[in-house]
Amino acid sequence: MEIIKTPIEGLLIIQPRVFGDSRGYFYESYSAKQYKENGINIDFCQDNLSKSSYGVLRGLHFQLYPHSQTKLVSAVQGTVWDVAVDLRASSPTFGQWYGIELSEENHTQFLVPQGFAHGFSVLSETAIFSYKCDDFYNPSLEGGIAYDDPALNIDWKIPADKAIISEKDTKHPLLKDAKLNF
């Protein structure tokens, strides 16, 4: 597997080795041993899948400390534009975001550490999105920031009039007003 650093410390792109032939392909989507050999020592405890149609925008979500989550995300089917926003107060990249296209074709994984908000938009007709978490979901510590915060100016790669957003996600505060403890 290849690990690629992003301009934001801690955010990693992981490209697994894919073995393909005329029958299709095979790859290990996760191996604790292989991750540890590459310096990634995370104990994942919960796997989640979501299915969405074109234009669905989910985010930007996080959980506050002490139950903040590291997420290892990928697209099992379809294509998504995945975004992480640095919420770590002491980070030189606080408030900066990084986006990457994840798809069933590129098999790319994105490691989003604790202290980041996370979201994605669906670029294909449908998508099945997978994420491993290192802590359990805790609704009392759930937080979010506005997906359309002008200070972030995130390009979600879908036309605004085609975006499908949950009512909950339309009510998140701007980053400057968000309750954070990272």
The question of whether 61 is a catalytic residue gets the answer yes
Catalytic, out of 35, 61, 98, 147: 61
CA-based R_g, the chain, Å:
16
* Burial annotation 71-96 (CB, 10 A radius, 16+ → b, else e): bbbbbeebbbbbbbbbbbeebebbee
Judge whether 131 counts as a catalytic residue.
yes
The dihedral region occupied by 59, where left means phi > 0, alpha psi between -120 and 50, and beta the remainder, is: left
Sign of the alpha-carbon dihedral angle for 23, 28, 34, 38: positive
- Single out the catalytic residue among 35, 98, 131, 147: 131
Task: Please list the active-site residues.
Answer: 61, 131
